[in-house]
Amino acid sequence: MDMRQTLVAAALTVLEERGEAKFSTRAVCALAKVTAPTLYHHFSNADGLLSAAIESAFEQYLASKQAAIRSADPVTALGDGWDNYVRFAAERPRLYSAMMARLLQGADIPAARQALALLNQQLEAIAAAGRLALPVEIAAQIAWSTVQAAALLHVNATLDSIRFHPPDPRAIATLRDSALKAICTS
């Protein structure tokens, strides 16, 4: 692994352990066992390092999504992708929060665009099979909003300032099943 990749990996670890609000280049340097000048040689500033780490996280998410979709049935594949998204957020809530914050700030992240394109491809496959109950754009909005809600239930459970309990798996399954029922014909 080259030094740039080492620094990105260390930044991902710091993001996952501390979140973006408590991210520090000092912690990254300590974890990567380098000095600050080494970090700044590869990244012009902390935000450059954060951006690279978040892009890497989106690439990891996209790879996991592509691996999770195994079914030839497009409705099952949509559900598998939905479950994968929630699982990613549940396993890496602080990193997921940083990823979403970057999107909300308007960052153009190629892997995020590819993940959205994959969702639209899944919905188009459902439409081609004659099983889509809504236009693709509306179905995408329902899929996106419900998966975000489920992911945020997991993120909220990690907040120190508010004491949320981890979401009940039945709540997550109900969100998914309701979305699929609204999107797809039986």
The encoded tokens of residue 172 equal: 């997550």
**Burial class (CB within 10 angstroms; exposed 0-12, middle 13-18, buried 19+) of 146:** buried
Of the chain, the percentage scoring pLDDT greater than 70 comes to: 99
Q: How far apart are CA 27 and CA 33, in angstroms?
A: 10
- Residue found under tokens 């408590």: 22
Q: Write the DSSP string, 66-124.
A: HHH---SSHHHHHHHHHHHHHHHHHHSHHHHHHHHHHHHTT---HHHHHHHHHHHHHHH
pTM of the model: 0.92
Domains of the chain from N-terminus onward: 54-183 (1.10.357)
The SS3 call for residue 45 is coil
Query: DSSP label at 172?
Result: H
How many beta carbons lie within 10 A of that of residue 141, not counting itself? 13
Q: Reply yes or no on whether the pLDDT at 160 is more than 80.
A: no
At 1, the pLDDT band (50, 70, 90 cuts) reads confident
Q: Reply yes or no on whether the pLDDT at 161 is more than 70.
A: no
- The tens digit of pLDDT for each residue in 42-88 reads 999 999 999 999 999 999 999 999 999 889 999 999 999 999 999 99
DSSP bridge pairs for 132: 184
- Torsion angle in degrees (nearest 10) through CA of 18, 24, 26, 27: 10
Q: What is the mean pLDDT of residues 3-13?
A: 97
